Amino acid sequence: MTKSQGTLDKRLKQLIKVVEQQDRHEKAAKKLEESSRRLKWQAVARAYLWWREADKQQGYLDALYASKNIPNNNLSNRLNFNPLVRLIWDIHGERWAHVSSLAQTIAALHEEYLENPQLYKRYPEDELISYIQQEGGLSGVKKKGSLKFDDDDSVVEEPKKKQKTQSKTLPKDVQKELLKRQTDHVASSSGIATIDVGEAAVNTENSTGSDLLVVLAKRDSSGNLVVLGTTNDTTLVEQVVLDCVEFDTSKLTPMLRLIVECLRPHIVPKALHKRGVRDKFFTTHKVRIKEDGKKEDVQESVRLVFTKHGDVLVSKRISHASLLTISKPKEVKLVLSNALFLRGADRYWLETDHIIDGQIALHTSEPVDALNDASKPLVASKRLTLKNDLTQATRDIYFYDYDNLDEQLKRQPTVKELDEIRFDWELTASKTFVDCH
């Protein structure tokens, strides 16, 4: 062995020791991080449970907050947990965003406790920590809650840069069931157009059990489609069926169908959603929510409203002008004492997790053609329970009195008397035309 080789061997051993030391430090840091995360979950759970007991003592919390010079403002649409956070975590000054985030999380925890009190009778702290873990941590609990009940901001962080969004992979059993339903739907469909593929057509038999094939075409200068080829490859056919074919809304229960069909024209198309440009469709406005407050950045989002007469109005909140649809249901007849709007978190969940990828086709609603009262003392007025018939999983979506909204956030394009509007031109179109354009 030469001297240079011996030096290299010695340096290699030293390098391996450094890597091993780094590995040990990373494992220790990871363990410490997990321990710290668990302690924070425990602190939040204990803080909420302490508040429940303290709240039962009349005047105790108000006096305690006052003695610490902690503001305790009443909010019109929800419990204010900001003072509790400032009290326990001793947060003051400019860290208001951290206070607000923790307060939203505790509010969401409160909502869960009220909805499922039977789960927290014996070991409330342990069960609350388990719930936090199940939801993916404190941020997951906050997203599921309804504190910002008309806002996408608490639900998703849109990409700041143009980047491709990773496609969510559906479980195989879900894909299989969706494929079966979509294939059955296509088999009975009359289609949206007829083209002559001539000699380019291949045998359409494949293992999907249908006569489907994929056509590759391009548009010529006259606007006509020129067929370049076809294939009956099973994998490609299945991918196209899942990616391109709209699910059959006629099989949905009436109330769920009404909500889905009213939201559909307002949903960012699947192709654009996958490219991560969804936020480009929603402008941010400066809004002064409180009379004496500063203007805040508030992003537009789609708001679905049930009017007192049972019509469904959908447009962008806080926008001066947007796509506006008003639907008059035929099967569902709602008579309400107040206008209601669908919680923003639930609308976003329906759009991104279920309508875009077609999973909503696996769901039914209870009740089928009405809304249930929300359990008190939740702020929500009505709820609708959705059940996945394949997995048996359920989730409630919530509706709130329109008057619960801060005055400045009520703004959205609407019409007061539709019959009084005179249009310059009108277009009568089929559903197929609207879907394709």
State pLDDT tens for residues 49-61.
999 999 999 889 9
User: Above 50 in pLDDT, residue 345?
Assistant: yes
pLDDT at 319: 87
First vs last C-alpha separation in the chain: 75
Give yes or no: residues 257 and 398 share one domain: yes
Contact, 45 vs 128, CB < 8 A?
yes
Packing angle of the helix pair 234-244, 172-187 (nearest 10 deg): 80
User: Above 50 in pLDDT, residue 433?
Assistant: yes
Contact, 396 vs 373, CB < 8 A?
no
Give yes or no: residues 293 and 413 share one domain: yes
Contact, 222 vs 198, CB < 8 A?
no
pLDDT at 372: 92
pLDDT at 165: 46
Share of the chain above pLDDT 70, in %: 81
Q: Is residue 429 part of a domain?
A: no
User: Above 80 in pLDDT, residue 34?
Assistant: no
pLDDT tens digit string along 388-418?
888 888 888 889 888 877 777 788 888 766 5
Give yes or no: residues 286 and 366 share one domain: yes
Q: Is residue 321 part of a domain?
A: yes
Which residues constitute the domain of residue 347? 249-418
Q: Is residue 234 part of a domain?
A: yes
Alpha-carbon distance values, 151 to 26, 143, 179, 186 (Å): 38, 11, 33, 36
Closest CA to 241 of 148, 147, 357: 357
User: Above 50 in pLDDT, residue 290?
Assistant: yes
Q: Is residue 60 part of a domain?
A: yes
Give yes or no: residues 214 and 292 share one domain: no
- Residues facing residue 305 across a β-bridge: 313, 341
Burial of 250 (0-12, 13-18, 19+ CB in 10 A): exposed
pLDDT at 330: 87
Give yes or no: residues 22 and 93 share one domain: yes
Burial of 410 (0-12, 13-18, 19+ CB in 10 A): middle
- Measure the CA–CA gap between 277 and 163, rounded to whole angstroms: 8
Q: Is residue 169 part of a domain?
A: no
Domain count, the chain: 3
Q: State the virtual CA torsion across 72, 78, 82, 87 in degrees, nearest 10.
A: 70
What are the tokens at 50? 């302490």
- Measure the CA–CA gap between 402 and 400, rounded to whole angstroms: 6
Give yes or no: residues 343 and 402 share one domain: yes
Q: Is residue 286 part of a domain?
A: yes
Length of the chain: 437
- Measure the CA–CA gap between 312 and 419, rounded to whole angstroms: 16
164 band by pLDDT with thresholds 50, 70 and 90: very low
- Measure the CA–CA gap between 152 and 244, rounded to whole angstroms: 26
Give yes or no: residues 50 and 119 share one domain: yes
| Amino acid at site 160 | K
Q: Is residue 175 part of a domain?
A: no
| Amino acid at site 7 | T
User: Above 50 in pLDDT, residue 159?
Assistant: no
Q: Which of 244, 264, 285 is the last residue of a domain?
A: 244
Give yes or no: residues 240 and 260 share one domain: no
The alpha carbon of residue 213 and the mean position of all alpha carbons in its chain are separated, in whole angstroms, by: 34
pLDDT tens digit string along 218-269?
888 888 888 888 888 888 888 888 777 777 888 899 999 999 999 999 988 8
Share of the chain above pLDDT 90, in %: 16
User: Above 90 in pLDDT, residue 314?
Assistant: yes
The mean of the pLDDT values for the chain is: 79
Closest CA to 98 of 132, 142, 49, 133: 142
Q: Could you give the 3-state DSSP secondary structure of residue 396?
A: strand
Contact, 215 vs 227, CB < 8 A?
yes
Q: Is residue 437 part of a domain?
A: no
- Measure the CA–CA gap between 249 and 174, rounded to whole angstroms: 17
Give yes or no: residues 272 and 382 share one domain: yes
Residue 401 CB neighbours (<10 A) = 17
Contact, 110 vs 93, CB < 8 A?
no
Residue 153 CB neighbours (<10 A) = 13
Average pLDDT over residues 422-430: 74
The residues, any chain, with a CB within 8 Å of residue 209's CB and separated by 6 or more, are 183
User: Above 80 in pLDDT, residue 278?
Assistant: no
User: What value, to the nearest 5°, has the Cα angle with vertex 335 and ends 333 and 341?
Assistant: 95
Contact, 53 vs 60, CB < 8 A?
no
pLDDT tens digit string along 126-156?
889 988 887 888 888 887 665 455 655 433 3
- Measure the CA–CA gap between 213 and 206, rounded to whole angstroms: 9
Give me the phi and psi of 347, to 5 degrees please: -65, -45
Alpha-carbon distance values, 337 to 342, 379, 437 (Å): 16, 16, 37
Give yes or no: residues 86 and 216 share one domain: no
Give yes or no: residues 238 and 306 share one domain: no
Give yes or no: residues 212 and 258 share one domain: no
User: Above 80 in pLDDT, residue 310?
Assistant: yes
- Measure the CA–CA gap between 74 and 96, rounded to whole angstroms: 17
